[in-house]
Amino acid sequence: MAIPLAGLLPPLWARQLTNDATAIAFGFGGAKKMLYDTRQRPQAVYFNDRIFIGYKGAGTAANTTKGRVAPTYAMLISYDPQNRTFSEPLKIGEPSSDHHDCPVVWVDKENFLHYLYHCHNEPGTHLVAKKPGGMGETESDWTALPDIAPMVSYPTIFRLYDDRELVYYRTGGHSASWSYRITSDQGRSWTGPENDVTNMDIYNHPEWSSYQAKILSPDRKTLYVVFTDYDDVRSNDPERLYNPRYDMPVSNNWKYNLSLLKIDLHTHEVRNDHGELIKTPLDIETARVKCQIWDTEWRGAGVPPALCLDENGEPSALHVLSEEDLETHNYYYVRKVDGEWLKTRITASNHQWNSTYLKSDSRGQLHAYVIVGDGYQDKQGVNYTHGGGRIEQWVSKDKGDTWNLHRDITPESAQYHGWSFNNVQPVLRPDGSAVDGMLMFYGWLDGEKPDAVAFLLDESG
């Protein structure tokens, strides 16, 4: 269905492109997680000399209900880096108040753009452009493809070594298993391993769960999975939610520890950090005994870590973690050196749900893009429940041993005074490599209204 844009976009003053330290506003009318956190990726892909970005937007304050996420639409837009201009956005499907419905995008080996959205304990909607090289002008320029799986949450897409595509996802609700599917025919059919990768509560530990971050090896033949674990007990039983470090029951906001798995995408074998073959699906007890790389001693995070590959092609992590109390948090760089997992503090965080980005540049320097603030983020409203603050770039020139503040990249226009920002993420090429000089994030002012704005930081020129 063709979607008219008249009346859906903000007034002209709000639609003008802003360029604060080259941060260009492109998406408007967003609500909570209009650009998602590290659990689902990518949301921007660079090919055919353009960037194609999926986000949630076009919400209106008139449709806002206090205490609930405002309904917004799955949107798609393209950006021309040479002229620094955006296309008109394409609005797809019906509005949704579920922030998990945020879309992901990717490109197959035939240069067709794919768009997947509405993924939260359901199959989601998977579309492919009818013509290669672009996004078309209306929803009628897209074709629906068969479901990837009966239920999909938090999808992340990878291009493999042989040009097949893989989607890694959670198979249902919080305590459901995590698994993956691979397509050899550009999304027309999908196959997967005999067993799911993890299922935390499969043996005697009901409702135990995990949040998972993923990254491909340099040869794109191995998938690294790093995850936190937590008790998602829905009864709010204070005995089960008791945290001995803080001597009190806590909510399931806090996820503990870090564990690592290595998946051979040819054989589907799953191994731990020591190379030991792991029986799948992995449960919480086995994960702690055989796969844990950091016992956080009941310090907790909300979001799983951001990952990158170190100089040896091995995974390293940028992780937020609580400290002496549940309102004090720090960012840590986690990497393996001479067989030992080291953790180096970078700087303070103002919330357990701040979603960050970690990259290693061509000179071997590490860049951590983190969310910071003055004190704990405890503002009221659904847009603030997952953190938010200013965005800083920290740099390490010695493989993560020491870190220094490089700059603040928060938009500074008077229009965005008092705003919070979150969910920093890269722009990727079809093979999963990051485009230098380009980042995305989003920001908001009101705790309830769909006033959030998405930004593209373009320093590629």
**Which amino acid is located at 67 in the chain?**
G
H helix or E strand, kind and range, residue 284: helix 284-286
Residue 64: pLDDT band with limits 50, 70, 90 = confident
- pLDDT, one tens digit per residue, over 225-270 is 999 999 999 888 999 999 999 999 999 999 999 999 999 999 999 9
pLDDT above 70 for 9:
no
- pLDDT, one tens digit per residue, over 113-142 is 999 999 998 999 999 999 999 999 999 999
Predicted pLDDT of residue 21:
53
Q: What does pTM read for this prediction?
A: 0.94
Q: What percent of the chain has pLDDT over 70?
A: 95
The domain over range 12-458 is classified in CATH as 2.120.10.10:
yes
List the single range of 14-18, 23-27, 337-341 with lowest mean pLDDT: 14-18
Query: Which is nearest to 214 in space by CA: 178, 241, 243, 171?
Result: 178
Mean pLDDT within 16-27? 68
Mean pLDDT within 60-72? 85
Which residue(s) pair with 223 in the sheet? 216, 263
pLDDT above 50 for 106:
yes
Domain boundaries, the chain: 12-458
Q: What percent of the chain has pLDDT over 90?
A: 90
DSSP symbol at 285: H
Alpha-carbon gap, residue 369 to 406, rounded angstroms: 10
Question: In a 10 Å sphere around its CB, with 0-12 CB exposed, 13-18 middle and 19+ buried, how is residue 194 labelled?
Answer: exposed
pLDDT above 80 for 73:
yes
- pLDDT, one tens digit per residue, over 361-409 is 999 999 999 999 999 999 999 999 999 999 999 999 999 999 999 999 9
